[in-house]
Amino acid sequence: MTENGCIFCRIARKEIPAKLVGENDLALAFWDVSPRQPLHILVIPKLHYANVAELTLNDEKSLVSVMKLASELALEHAEESFRFSFNTGAGAGQTVFHAHAHLTSQTPRSESA
């Protein structure tokens, strides 16, 4: 499932650049272009799902891949505490309608800051 014009699909296909930070078979991670926390990484499924509920209900393998990659990166890049969040719907602040986890932390490891 892909969507023409979806910016995160285009990043997943490596058609447009992003600062990649990790990848596995079904998920990709890159630094958020406008970070709102000292550590701010986005983790996306490579396949297109509009939000985390669509992802969860349709593709458990991609969901697990997203969460595994996000967890690995959290342990690697956050000092002690971190947050995963999925804005879902415009009213909740979602602006890119391709499912993505925000991995944020106020306490990045020094080499990640």
- For 55, left (φ over 0), alpha (ψ -120 to 50), or beta? alpha
CA angle at 38 for the pair 33 and 41, rounded to the nearest 5°: 45
Q: How far is the CB of 62 from ligand DGP (least distance, A)?
A: 18
Question: Looking at 48, 77, 98, 100, which residue is catalytic?
Answer: 100
33 binds ligand DGP (CB under 6 A): yes
Q: Is 100 a catalytic residue?
A: yes
57 binds ligand DGP (CB under 6 A): no
7 binds ligand DGP (CB under 6 A): yes
Instruction: Using the rule CB under 6 A, give the single segment among 26-34, 43-51, 56-64, 73-81 that binds ligand DGP.
Output: 26-34
85, two tokens: 């969040």
The owner of tokens 């602040």 is 93
CA angle at 84 for the pair 4 and 9, rounded to the nearest 5°: 10
- Residue ranges binding ligand DGP (CB under 6 A): 7, 18, 30-34, 42, 87, 93-96
